[in-house]
């Protein structure tokens, strides 16, 4: 008799039950939903009750309201009810809540309580926008050198070391320090080396001047570039959250690029405006002593001041060079309306350092004017020598200049804005400034109808491949072929279960990986069945042939699948986008097909044929 260990039957049964349980949520269709999340805390039962009350008062029908992973989801019967509910909730909820369009599966409550969720769909199946952003690494170097230039000036002044000049040479990639006295070279070099890590300090030998050249090492430059990428990713995630996008993807690609995918978003202009903006603000005192019109006529500002213009009127204004507070010292910014005239305004909060500086400035400059400068990094395409060149520039315009009527520190308002400008400025200030400018090098939009079309065609491809394989195996291997068909069906269920368990996004290339797996999954059974036929042809008994077929084919099956699995793991580790989506489903398919072909079919064969005395096998 052909015996199979009892623990393997138990293993197969457990895997089948767990796989069916995790795959089950995918059987329930999705409803259009509205997602409500809190910026600084998770939603609670009180918010759930409040949402239900608002929708009932506005007579917006809904199916269910439940809390899932730090967000409140409300499902609806139609997209029209969904959009209407989003508008109603956006108007009635406070600014601390973010309202976004999403989808919610109709999974029963007991499944949600167990943490069971359907697999997520990628952008190409769900619809939305895809951006590929490139970080300006030259700007990273420029910012670092300019910061070093300012730090060195302050350091040498504090240590009373006289210098003729300190300048950052962006093109050459170093900061040059020229001292007045050559005896101070050693001391200055030690001080700079102690204050700035990761730099190489040299003394040009072909100059009579007392020079030090400070350049960042390759290792330090790489650290700063990596930091700029990570900081930009964090800032972009904050901005995406402020946009109210459900389940966004923001991840690094290569050395200097970032991929941003916004499922469900169709307004690309709004998304581009927020993602690409590098706006911040500066607060400066107004120079009311000198005449700004005279400075504009002469083309230069007086010593200690800079010439600006109002953004709306273009009128000139002189501001002090010293910056009181910058946008990176803001801790919060909300849109509202000014108390004096009801115009749109942004209410800001400062951190401790910025609050101290603002308190000191307002205390010492009562009844003087303070201006808010809107700083924006922009780019434009210009023609030069017959070629299109993208030119970057910084635009600084004064939003308003108000008289300081009282002493304040950590909280105040910025007025003089239009409604949309106030909302965008509040969003950008909350999300933070980008560490380096970015350019959008690729943009794709996938409509919801196209995404559904991709799903339908992908499902059709899987079903056609599945049915053709089933028919072939049943005809060619008869009863054993039917057992392989059962294993193939279980294999598909387990792939879906793994995608749901790990919440891996299913993409269009991922569906291609599933189709490939359907064809490859029976390879192991083909090897086993052919080995069994060979054993029968040499005169072995049916039970001995089954035993030998599984044992002797195992090494070939393992070698073939392990090498393919290694390739899939490499693609997952180093691939991005479509390549990674294909590799994930391929890896899952290899793992499940090995289990179902070697362990699953063996258990089924033993149940059907293991306890019977037979002269022939249906193979």
Separation of CA 88 from chain center: 28
Output phi, psi for 168, to 5 deg.
-95, 120
Q: What is the pLDDT of residues 141-162, one digit of tens each?
A: 887 787 788 778 878 887 888 8
In angstroms, rounded to a whole number, what is the distance separating the alpha carbons of residues 504 and 580?
11
pLDDT of residue 2: 64
Pick the CATH number of 6-24+447-609 from 2.40.160.20, 4.10.490.10, 1.20.1640.10, 2.60.120.10: 1.20.1640.10
In angstroms, rounded to a whole number, what is the distance separating the alpha carbons of residues 304 and 284?
12
pLDDT of residue 206: 61
By the 8 A CB rule, do 31 and 77 touch?
yes
In the predicted model, what is the mean pLDDT of the chain? 80
DSSP H helices, 96-136, are: 109-113, 123-126
In angstroms, rounded to a whole number, what is the distance separating the alpha carbons of residues 132 and 439?
9
Segment 41-58 mean pLDDT:
86
Hey, what's the torsion of the CAs at 433, 436, 437, 439, to 10 degrees? -120
- The DSSP secondary structure of 392-417, one letter per residue, reads EEEEEEEEEEEE--S---SEEEE-S-
* CATH code, residues 29-106: 3.30.70.260
| Segments making up each domain of the chain, as ranges | 6-24+447-609, 29-106, 279-433
Is the model more confident about 61 or about 268? Answer: 61
Position 424 pLDDT exceeds 80:
no
Segment 112-123 mean pLDDT:
81
- Least confident range from 29-33, 62-66, 599-603: namely 29-33
Task: Give 250's pLDDT tier (boundaries 50, 70, 90).
Answer: confident
Segment 39-60 mean pLDDT:
84
By the 8 A CB rule, do 211 and 177 touch?
yes
In angstroms, rounded to a whole number, what is the distance separating the alpha carbons of residues 572 and 77?
38
Sheet-wide strand order for 210-216: 163-169, 174-179, 210-216, 199-202
Q: What is the pLDDT of residues 506-559, one digit of tens each?
A: 888 888 888 888 877 888 888 888 888 888 888 888 888 888 888 888 888 888
Q: Which helix (H) or strand (E) holds 251?
A: strand 249-253
Q: What is the pLDDT of residues 370-381, one digit of tens each?
A: 888 877 766 666
Q: What is the pLDDT of residues 563-575, one digit of tens each?
A: 888 988 888 887 7
pLDDT of residue 286: 92
Is the model more confident about 401 or about 385? Answer: 401
Measured CA to CA in angstroms, residue 24 lies from 88, 295, 486, 496, 500 at distances of: 34, 74, 18, 9, 9
pLDDT of residue 235: 77
pLDDT of residue 430: 63
The answer, as to whether pTM is greater than 0.75, is no
Is the model more confident about 234 or about 484? Answer: 484
- The DSSP secondary structure of 274-307, one letter per residue, reads HHH---EEEEEEE--SS-HHHHHHHTSPPTTEEE
Residue 250: Cβ-neighbour burial (10 angstroms; 0-12, 13-18, 19+): buried
Q: Does domain 279-433 have CATH number 3.30.1360.200?
A: yes
In angstroms, rounded to a whole number, what is the distance separating the alpha carbons of residues 188 and 150?
15
Task: Give 319's pLDDT tier (boundaries 50, 70, 90).
Answer: very high
Position 499 pLDDT exceeds 60:
yes
Measured CA to CA in angstroms, residue 377 lies from 146, 277, 391, 400, 433 at distances of: 17, 7, 11, 19, 11
Task: Give 188's pLDDT tier (boundaries 50, 70, 90).
Answer: confident
Position 318 pLDDT exceeds 90:
yes
Q: Give the rounded percent of residues in the chain with a pLDDT score beyond 70.
A: 85
């Amino acid at each position: 008799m052909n015996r199979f260990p009892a623990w393997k039957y138990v293993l197969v049964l457990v895997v089948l039950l767990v796989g069916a349980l995790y795959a089950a949520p995918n059987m329930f269709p999705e409803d259009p939903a509205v997602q409500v999340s809190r910026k600084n805390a998770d939603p609670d039962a009180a918010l759930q009750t409040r949402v239900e009350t608002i929708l009932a008062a506005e007579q917006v029908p809904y199916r269910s309201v439940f809390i899932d992973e730090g967000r409140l989801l409300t499902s609806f019967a139609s997209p029209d009810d969904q959009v209407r509910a989003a508008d109603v909730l956006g108007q009635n909820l406070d600014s601390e809540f973010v309202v976004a369009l999403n989808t919610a599966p109709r999974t029963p409550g007991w499944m949600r309580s167990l943490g069971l969720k359907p697999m997520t769909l990628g952008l190409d199946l769900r619809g939305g926008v895809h951006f590929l952003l490139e970080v300006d690494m030259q700007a990273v170097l420029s910012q670092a050198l300019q910061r070093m230039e300012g730090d060195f000036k302050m350091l040498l002044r504090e240590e009373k070391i006289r210098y003729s000049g300190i300048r950052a040479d962006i093109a050459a990639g170093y900061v040059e320090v020229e001292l007045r006295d050559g005896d101070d070279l050693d001391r200055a070099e030690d001080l700079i080396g102690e204050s700035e890590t990761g730099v190489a300090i040299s003394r040009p030998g072909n100059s009579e001047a007392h020079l030090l050249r400070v350049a960042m090492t390759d290792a330090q430059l790489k650290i700063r570039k990596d930091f700029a990428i990570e900081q930009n990713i964090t800032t972009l995630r904050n901005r995406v959250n402020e946009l109210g996008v459900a389940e966004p993807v923001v991840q690094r690609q290569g050395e200097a690029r970032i991929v941003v995918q916004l499922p469900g978003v169709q307004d690309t202009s709004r998304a581009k405006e927020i993602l690409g903006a590098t706006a911040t603000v500066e607060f400066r005192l107004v120079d009311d002593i000198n005449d700004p019109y005279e400075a504009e006529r002469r083309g230069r500002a007086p010593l200690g001041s800079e010439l600006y213009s109002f953004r709306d009127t273009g009128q000139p204004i002189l501001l002090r060079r010293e910056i009181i507070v910058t946008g990176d010292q803001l801790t919060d910014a909300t849109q509202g309306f000014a108390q004096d005239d009801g115009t749109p305004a942004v209410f800001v909060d400062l951190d401790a350092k910025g609050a101290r500086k603002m308190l000191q400035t307002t205390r010492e400059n009562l009844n003087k004017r303070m201006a808010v400068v809107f700083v924006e990094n922009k780019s434009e395409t210009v023609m030069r020598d017959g070629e299109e060149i993208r030119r970057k520039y910084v635009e600084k315009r004064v939003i308003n200049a108000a008289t300081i009527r009282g002493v304040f520190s950590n909280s105040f308002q910025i007025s003089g804005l239009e409604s949309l400008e106030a909302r965008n400025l509040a969003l950008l200030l909350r999300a933070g400034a980008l560490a380096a400018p970015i350019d959008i090098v690729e943009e794709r939009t996938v409509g919801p109808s196209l995404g559904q079309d991709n799903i339908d065609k992908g499902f059709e491809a899987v079903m056609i491949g599945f049915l053709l394989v089933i028919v072939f195996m049943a005809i060619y291997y008869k009863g054993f072929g039917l057992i392989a068909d059962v294993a193939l069906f279980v294999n598909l269920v387990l792939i879906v279960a793994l995608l749901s368990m790990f919440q891996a996004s299913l993409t269009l290339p991922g569906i291609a990986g599933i189709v490939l797996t359907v064809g490859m999954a029976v390879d192991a059974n083909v090897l086993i069945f052919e080995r069994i036929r060979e054993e029968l042809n040499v005169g072995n008994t049916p039970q001995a042939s089954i035993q030998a077929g599984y044992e002797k084919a195992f090494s070939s099956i393992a070698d073939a699948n392990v090498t393919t699995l290694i390739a899939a793991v490499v693609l997952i580790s180093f691939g991005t986008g479509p390549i990674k989506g294909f590799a994930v489903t391929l890896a899952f398919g290899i793992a499940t097909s090995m289990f179902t072909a070697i362990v699953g079919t063996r258990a089924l064969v033993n149940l059907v044929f293991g306890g019977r005395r037979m002269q022939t096998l249906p193979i």
